[in-house]
Amino acid sequence: MCGNQKVCIEFKDLLPNDFKTDFIINITENRINQSYQVKDIKKSGNNLTFHMPAFQNAQIDRAKVNIVFEYKQEIIRHASYIYTRELDRM
């Protein structure tokens, strides 16, 4: 996968109305200690969509990052995402 790719997440339950203020999505890469907070999150019922940022490190061709979902400062879900720099070049 690559940067600017749309990610869709479906939760079992409806998301609360305060998700704009109390819900955070962080993209983290542990090896190089990089973190990015997703700003533009769209909600529809129990679905969230957002676009992944481009991977910032030019020396790494592939990287596994974690998508961490926090609600009221508590981690509620996480998922892995593999960046492939070659796809960003296309």
Looking at the structure of the chain, the number of domains it has is 1
* Burial readout 46-70 (b: 16 or more C-beta within 10 A, e: otherwise): eebebebbebeeeeeeebebebbbb
Q: Please report whether residue 45 resides in a domain.
A: yes
Q: What tens digit of pLDDT does each residue of 36-66 get?
A: 898 888 888 888 899 888 777 667 777 888 8
Rounded distance, CA 82 to CA 63, Å? 6
Residue 46, domain CATH: 2.60.40.10
Q: What tens digit of pLDDT does each residue of 69-79 get?
A: 898 889 988 88
Closest by Cα among 74, 3, 63 to 34: 63
pTM reported for the whole predicted model: 0.76
Rounded distance, CA 29 to CA 60, Å? 12
Q: Please report whether residue 1 resides in a domain.
A: no
Q: Which domain holds residue 82?
A: 6-89
